Amino acid sequence: MPFAGFVGDVKDAERVREVIAGQKPAIVFHAAAYKHVPLMEEENCWQAVRNNVFGTWVMAAETIAAKVPRFVLVSTDKAVNPTNVMGATKRLAEIAARRCSQRRLDAGQRGAVRQRARSAGSVIRSSRSRWRAAGRSR
């Protein structure tokens, strides 16, 4: 399975559209989120909301608009029962991605896939192993 990584502001819909259009992916893995919990708890909490929630909305919406078959939100265990701003933004990001997929389902298309990953380890590496075991990788 070919892999390509790109850098850009996850909230920049034009950049997201440009990358998706240029690559024509079959799957989009979205893992962009602020991860510096202490920095996001006080004066910076609005930035965490903008980046983690709005950024996920942009990624999911652009993935759907481009008719990419699968969108995988790489989340963490922090979103299960949030105890801080960071966990709450990750939970809201999951809700945003799910809402986008429901809009897509309403249009009669395939829904998005959400995957929760533990904080430790590579979700992409472990997923790749599972796909190979299932005979889905080239």
Six-digit token string for 6: 């790109």
What is the Cα–Cα distance from 128 to 137, expressed in whole angstroms? 8
Q: Among the options 11, 24, 35, 78, which is catalytic?
A: 78
What is the Cα–Cα distance from 48 to 109, expressed in whole angstroms? 31
What is the Cα–Cα distance from 130 to 127, expressed in whole angstroms? 5
Catalytic annotation on 78? yes
Six-digit token string for 84: 């801080």
Give the catalytic positions in this structure.
78
